[in-house]
Structure formats: C-alpha cells, structure tokens
Chain A
Amino acid sequence: MQEINKERKPLIVAFCCNWCSYAGADLAGSSRLSYPANVKIIRVPCSCRVNPLFILKAFQRGADGVILCGCHPGDCHYTTGNYYTRRRMSLLFSMLDYLGIERERTRVEWVSAAEGAKFSNVMNDFAKTINELGENKRLEDLRCKD
C-alpha cells in the first residue's frame, strides 16, 4: 500500500470560469506552457456558479487542493458575478481555517483569457504548495478511498 501512496500524486481540482480562466488555460496549452497533469479542470459558466458544496465535494471525492479561477474583478462576463464569489470564498476559506483545515488547500485566483502564462504559473505554484502539504486528511471521506 505504502508504495502506491508514494507514487500517488496529489489531486488538484480547478474550477475555471468559461469566459476568462478556461480560455486562459487554452492559451497556456496553445502557447505550450506546461502545468501539472494532476490538475483537473472543471469548467463553470462563472466563478460565482461554484457553490461551497462543490468545493467540499471535491475534497470528499479525493481532491487534495481546490482552486477557483475567474475573470479579474471588474471584467466578469456577467458584470458582477466574481465580486460575489470573492465575498463567498473569503468567508468559506476562513471557516475551513476555523475548523482547523489547512487554508493553503484552497485558493482563488483571477486569470484572464490573455493570461496563459499566469495560468501556468498559478497552477505550478499551487501544485507545489499541495505537494508540500501532502495528502488531504482533514476533509477526507474514507469511503471514497477504497
């Protein structure tokens, strides 16, 4: 078992908004900028579509880190969606921290469609952080592990 665990790469879930960050990821790809293969992208219409339950469920299903990417504040395709995201996630992350869950496991970044390089940097940096933190133990659902 241990050997498998050693090989196990941490799983990162990235929620990306359709209009900016997902296009940013596209640009990173077409510019041949690399980001870790263990980042799994889930496309959402807007960063404010992400319900706190989504983030918890990602952890339940085995994610070790969850990152949420959206348009820069002020540039939201729906004008104001990401402003609401910003408030919600500030509160949610603070609550996770309050329950003793490592706050580095969750992150919000603003990545525009033109920022392929930023997307790649952000993902590399986040993956590094999660690698250092190791497996998510505090928000895990053991039923999903076997």
Chain B
Amino acid sequence: MKAILKDKLNLLYEEISKKCELYLPTKEKGALNFKKFDGENEVDIESLQTVKSAKDFFFPQTEDMVNFKTEGKNIEIIDAREKIETYVIFGVRACDYKSFEILDRVFLVEPVDTMYKNRRENAVIFTLACNNPHASCFCKNFGIDASSPKGDVECYDVDGYLFFNPLTEKGAQIVNGLTCLEEVKGEDKVDALKKDITKKIEKLPFSNLDLSKFKGENLMELFNRPEWEELSEACLGCGTCTFVCPTCQCFDIRDFKTNSGIKRFRCWDSCMYSDFTQMAAENPRKTQMQRYRQRFMHKLCYYPSNNDGIYSCVGCGRCVKKCPQSLNIVKVIKKIGGEKND
C-alpha cells in the first residue's frame, strides 16, 4: 500500500498543494475547520471533527449567483458563478462523505444546481477512517461504516503511517503521482485497525437506536405526537444545528444593492428561524414547536419518504455537541421512536 510517515505529512500537503488547491482540517483560534493549505496551517487530522461540516465545499454559506449592472436605461446581466478547478479535500470523515450522497439527491436532480455540480465534480476527496469515534457519534444507525469511509481515496492512520487506498480513477491518479509516498506493507495493520474501529463503534451509546417507527407511512401520527411540545420547549430558535449539520440544505436567495447595481446571492437559511416560512399573507409556522418539529420530521420522515427510505441524517453528532441547550436528534429519536430505545 502507498503510505507516508506521519512525521512527513507536511511534505505530502506541500506536494498536493503544488498541483491544486488543498483543504485541510485546521485549528484556528480554538476551532477546527477546513482551511486552505498555505504552509502555515495548524493541521489537525487526529481530532475527530470539524465544527462546520464538509458540505461547505459544495454548498458554501454564501454564494454569488448573478450580478445586475445598470447604466442609464441598460441593464447588464453578469454570470457571477465562480470558475472552479480541481481541488483536494483532505480528512473528510465517513459521515460527511455520506452526507454528499444526500445532498446530491437534492442538488443534482433535475433541474440540476450548476453551482453545486461544478464544485462537486471538481473535488477529489480524501477520506479518513475514525480511529477514535466519540460518544456522540451514531453513524452506524444510518448504514455508515466509519472504518471504510469511501470517497476518492481512503486514508488510514495506523502505526505511525498514513496509508492510502485509492477507490476511484481520480483518486488513483493523484496518489500515483505523489513522489513523497513510499510502498509499505500495511494491509494487515489496516485490517486490524478497521476491526478495532468497528468494535469501538459497536460499543458507543447511540449505536443501536431504534428507527423502525420512522418509515414514512405514519406521517400524521408522528406529526401529531404530543411529545414535540416538551422536546422543543428549550429551543432558542437559533440556527446552530442547521448550520453545523452536514445534510441541511435550505437556502434563501437575496439581492444586495451595490452602488452600481445588484448582486444576487444565495445564503443558508434555517428552518429554526422565525421568518423561514414568512410569506406575504402570513407565516404558517408560528411557533418554535412547529419549526422544531419540521426539522426532525424532514430528516427522519419526509426526506426518506421521497428518497427510497434514506434518512437525511448521518449521525455525525454535531448537533449533539453544539446545541446551546443540548437538544438534538437523538433525543427526538428516543422520545418519538418508542420504548425500544430506552
């Protein structure tokens, strides 16, 4: 297997970044997020998770769509979409990779979102197996195997080496072109690591949730459950859960008046916000309970009933970690999903 000593990872980063842009989990002021490699990044591939998910690469928080310029009676329409060249995202975890599949089903069906498609197709994704899954992880429930995270190239951090397992042609091309890699015998070690990860994941407290109630047929029954009231009681109506979530994909399109025209851009929106469903006449979701219910019904019922039963949650645990008042999807699954979860 191709591999590199972990002490020499900087050589790898430098070599990749010479070929194309490289994004890595980087620690900055105490928060881990993906940042472009500039030679001075404080790269951290040991920590499990970035604060913001990897969806930002394909679906950034704000994105220009089109510009209008006015001069006298003329309006010029300018395509503001960015030109994207091949780039590498390094250190994506299995859950985040799975989230791309969920987003693809939204953005890549007709009519195709060209901005998303452009970014998606030009990305080469190096995934990383989770050596130390956290107690808040529950990816196993959604059929995700953190020990083989998929992507273009799978990476395994074992025994002082980082091993590479290219899965696609795109990935193989980059890996084979890297001169800093050496050939190391490591199949056994990687297999051992995989087994170890699987064992660790089996032991996690949320690894065996009962999702049998969320089937997409009993929508009204779940919708009308009285428990939503107490589940949402403490919700602040902030957008933290939706913004750190790898599968939340709602956005708003806005116009910004510049001094000489208009910039039309899209930005993330959150179903937790009071004006998310604001319309000219009125707002159909008036209470925070309704908004809260919407978010989880969408993840666990509406999305699967439209998408062959695939849940729109990957169990990354970001909402579990980041909700200011510790409300999260696990609590919802346990409360609404029935006794088996106790």
Contact = CB atoms under 8 A, between A and B. Distances in A.
Direct A–B touching, Cβ under 8 Å: yes
Interface residues of A, number: 6
A144 to B, nearest CB: 5
In this complex, which of B256, B259, B260, B263 has the most chain A Cβ atoms within 10 angstroms of its Cβ? B259
A144 B259 CA distance: 5
Interface in A122-146: 143-146
B258 interface: yes
A64 B256 CA distance: 21
A61 interface: yes
B69 to A, nearest CB: 9
A146 B260 CA distance: 7
A24 interface: no
A27 B7 CA distance: 74
Contacts of A62: 259
Nearest to B260: A146
Query: What DSSP secondary structure best describes chain A's contact surface?
Result: loop
A144 B67 CA distance: 12
Nearest to B69: A146
Nearest to B265: A143
In this complex, which of B256, B258, B260, B263 has the most chain A Cβ atoms within 10 angstroms of its Cβ? B258
Contacts of B260: 146
B82 to A, nearest CB: 15
A145 B258 CA distance: 8
Contacts of B256: 143
Interface in B258-286: 258-260, 263
B254 to A, nearest CB: 12
In this complex, which of A61, A62, A145, A146 has the most chain B Cβ atoms within 10 angstroms of its Cβ? A146
A146 B258 CA distance: 8
A145 B256 CA distance: 13
Contacts of B258: 143-144, 146
Contacts of A143: 256, 258, 263
Contacts of A61: 259
A105 to B, nearest CB: 19
Nearest to A62: B259
Interface in B218-275: 256, 258-260, 263
A62 to B, nearest CB: 6
A94 to B, nearest CB: 24
Interface string B204-221: 000000000000000000
A79 to B, nearest CB: 37
B166 to A, nearest CB: 40
Contacts of B259: 61-62, 144-145
A27 to B, nearest CB: 32
B296 to A, nearest CB: 36
A47 B258 CA distance: 27
A145 B259 CA distance: 7
A143 B261 CA distance: 10
Contacts of B263: 143
A100 B256 CA distance: 26
A63 to B, nearest CB: 11
B75 to A, nearest CB: 16
A61 B256 CA distance: 12
B15 to A, nearest CB: 33
B248 to A, nearest CB: 26
A90 B260 CA distance: 34
A112 B108 CA distance: 64
Interface string A24-54: 0000000000000000000000000000000
A62 B259 CA distance: 9
A93 B70 CA distance: 36
A62 B258 CA distance: 10
B235 to A, nearest CB: 28
Contacts of A144: 258-259
A61 B260 CA distance: 11
A2 B263 CA distance: 24
A65 B23 CA distance: 38
A146 B263 CA distance: 10
Interface in B150-208: none
B65 to A, nearest CB: 13
Given A143-B263, A144-B258, A146-B258, 5 more contacts: A61-B259, A62-B259, A143-B256, A143-B258, A145-B259
10 contacts: A61-B259, A62-B259, A143-B256, A143-B258, A143-B263, A144-B258, A144-B259, A145-B259, A146-B258, A146-B260
Across the A-B interface, give the 3 residue pairs with the lowest CB-CB distance, nearest first.
A144-B259, A144-B258, A143-B258
